[in-house]
Structure 1
Amino acid sequence: MSSETNQKEKEKEKEIETEVEEHNSGMAAPAMDSAAVTNLHSVLNRVQQAAERSGRKPDQIRVVAVSKTKPVSLIRQVYDAGHRCFGENYVQEIVEKAPQLPDDIEWHFIGHLQSNKVKLLLSSAPNLAMVETVDDEKIANYLDRGVANIGRKPLKVMVQVNSSGEASKFGVEPLGCVELAKHIKLECPNLEFSGLMTIGMLDYSSTPENFNTMTNCRLEVCKALGIAEENCELSMGMSGDFEQAIEMGSTNVRIGSTIFGPREYPNKQTN
């Protein structure tokens, strides 16, 4: 066999070895993060920066990843990236999704809750961590009785405040938030009052008045209940204004489309 032939065979073997190495390397390479996971990391970085600007630590801000209209598979991707707090607006969605996902998820219900859906919500989502949208004594009483009936630990709730005065939004008027908070604290032993929640105005300004209103509401509630401000959360800020909300005192931001992408409405949803 000529030396030229030997050289060609060696070159061919080297090419094969290189192809095998490249194939194995490609097989071993981790899959790229999904868009939702990349978005989550971006949001958490922005939350960190906003927290620092407000003189707080990032772990003092809770990010509720709002998975409204999104499939379980997409929620699972964000869960696998390490996130544990998710929010839903519709009872039917949380009822369908919660059993398909890990038990250590902390579900927040952030939509308008009808009294006839309370039992279904509580029984179908044992890892429901909080209802952020209690806007009258009736729904507080329904939740209190529902929690007692199923024998679960006290449920954390927030009082929803209509701080913008917009007719399209639910929530108690700012002047009524103290009385509702007192009712929950004194008359609902199976509920744990955790703070105040609001939805921002449609037209945001550099110092949105509704966020200022929430700060004042918290002062009044804390004074009436005799609790420290750090024991009364402020849930305000969504995809379009969460950084500003954090700078103005929010401890809980609800972020959906900036993480998961635009909403998808294949069918009409009902609460």
Structure 2
Amino acid sequence: MASVDAVKALRSVLQRVHQAAERSGRRGDDVRVVAVGKTKPISLIRQLYDAGHRRFGENYLPQDIIWHFIGHLQSNKAKSLLAAVPNLAVVEGVDNQKIANHLDRAVASIKREPLRVLVQVNTSGETSKSGVDPSGCVELVKHVKMGCPNLEFSGLMTIGMADYSSTPENFKTLSNCKVEVCKAIGMALDQCQLSMGMSGDFEQAIELGSTSVRIGSTIFGPREYAKKR
């Protein structure tokens, strides 16, 4: 029954995404929904796959999954990640030049197609959050574009506040970074993705320009972590 509920929840999320996109003057298809089933059983994620969804924050499923790695990645894990997940489509979490360089070399070493990456920006100013400061966003993007030939800069992302929600100011900060980045590198605004918004705030994020939302608990229910003894 839980997996059936997840499918219904996904359909509800997709409907809300379409409505929010229309309020922002765009089509629903302009916004990607990444289903993030962290800690959930493979069978539950498989149910969404069988229902036709293909964009996940996991690597458990068949080769036609469009898998996103979300969040901070340790530089020494770049090569092992790429080797273990041949269908890795996007890394949402390049927050410094070191990890960009490691990913670039890892892609070259396994001779795969260029890897799409999003630069992570710390829009809330929280020291606990990964991400480049907004003031350093353009410099990092330029490094990815000009210094990492095996990476393809695709856009920007941000993580919400401590309760996994965010504020209009956080979203507006990322949108402003997008304008600055596109001007600096000569990229069309509609070619630069904005990954912002999760279960608690994705509709507001879409209305403020998000093109990709990461939905976990609204589809799968609360995360279930093993209790520490």
For the criterion TM > 0.5, the same-fold answer is yes
1:120 pairs with 2:65: no
| Structure 1 match to 2:40 | 70
Selected match of 2:191 from 228, 231, 237: 231
Q: 2:33, 2:2 → 1: CA distance?
A: 23
Q: Which amino acid aligns with 2:20?
A: A
The equivalent position to 2:96 in structure 1, one of 136, 139, 144, is 136
For residue 210 of structure 1, the aligned residue among 167, 170, 178 is 170
Unaligned residue ranges in structure 2 (runs of 5+): none
Instruction: Identify the residue that residue 34 of structure 1 maps to in structure 2.
Output: 4
Match in the other structure for 1:6: none
- Paired position in structure 2 for 1:169: 129
Structure 1: distance between partners of 2:126 and 2:2 = 43
**Taking structure 1 as reference, are residues 55 and 136 closer, same or farther at Cα in structure 2, changes over 3 Å only?**
same
CA contact (8 A) 1:200 1:211 kept: no
Secondary structure of the structure 2 residue equivalent to 1:138: helix
The alpha-carbon deviation at position 33 of structure 1 amounts to 6.7
TM-score by length of 1: 0.80
Is the Cα–Cα contact under 8 Å of residues 110 and 133 in structure 1 kept in the other structure? Answer: yes
Over 4 Å off, 4+ runs: 202-205
Deviates more, 1:31-40 or 1:102-111: 31-40
Identify the residue that residue 44 of structure 1 maps to in structure 2: 14
What is the CA distance between 1:132 and its match in structure 2? 0.5
Query: How does 1:187-198 map onto structure 2 within 5 Å?
Result: 187-198=147-158
Contact 1:201/1:210 (<8 A) preserved: no
Q: Which residue of 2 aligns with 1:261?
A: 221
User: What percent of counterpart residues are identical?
Assistant: 72
Whole-angstrom CA distance in 2 between matches of 1:267 and 1:254: 25
From 82, 101, 125, the equivalent of 2:52 is 82
1:60 and 2:30 equivalent?
A: yes
Q: Which has the higher helix share?
A: 1
Which whole-Å CA distance do the structure 1 matches of 2:121 and 2:87 have between them? 25
Amino acid in structure 1 at the alignment position of 2:213:
V
1:267 deviates by 6.7
CA distance, structure 2, for counterparts of residue 123 and residue 147 of structure 1:
9
**Within the alignment, does 1:160 sit opposite 2:130 as a pair?**
no
Query: What is the root-mean-square deviation of aligned Cα atoms in Å?
Result: 1.7
Mapped contact 1:105–1:127 kept (Cα < 8 A): yes
Q: 5+ residue gaps in structure 1?
A: 1-30, 89-93
- The one-letter amino acid paired with 2:50 is D
Q: Distance in 1 between matches of 2:142 and 2:191?
A: 14
Over alpha carbons, which structure has the higher Rg? Answer: 1
Q: How far apart are residue 107 of structure 1 and its match?
A: 0.4
What SS is found at the alignment partner of 1:34? helix
Deviation at 1:119, TM superposition (A): 1.3
* Aligned-partner Cα distance in 2 for 1:181–1:267: 40
1:91 corresponds in structure 2 to: none
- The number of residue pairs the alignment matches comes to 227
- Residues 80-123 of structure 1 show CA distances to partners (whole Å, capped at 9, x for unaligned) of 111000014xxxxx4xx2xxx21100000002100121111100
Say whether the 8 Å CA contact 2:3–2:44 is kept in structure 1: no
3-state SS, counterpart of residue 157 of structure 1? strand
Name the structure 1 match of 2:203: 243
**Contact persistence 1:237–1:254 (CA under 8 A):** yes
In 2: Cα distance, 1:231 partner to 1:182 partner: 16
* TM-score normalised per structure 2: 0.95
SS at match of 1:45: helix
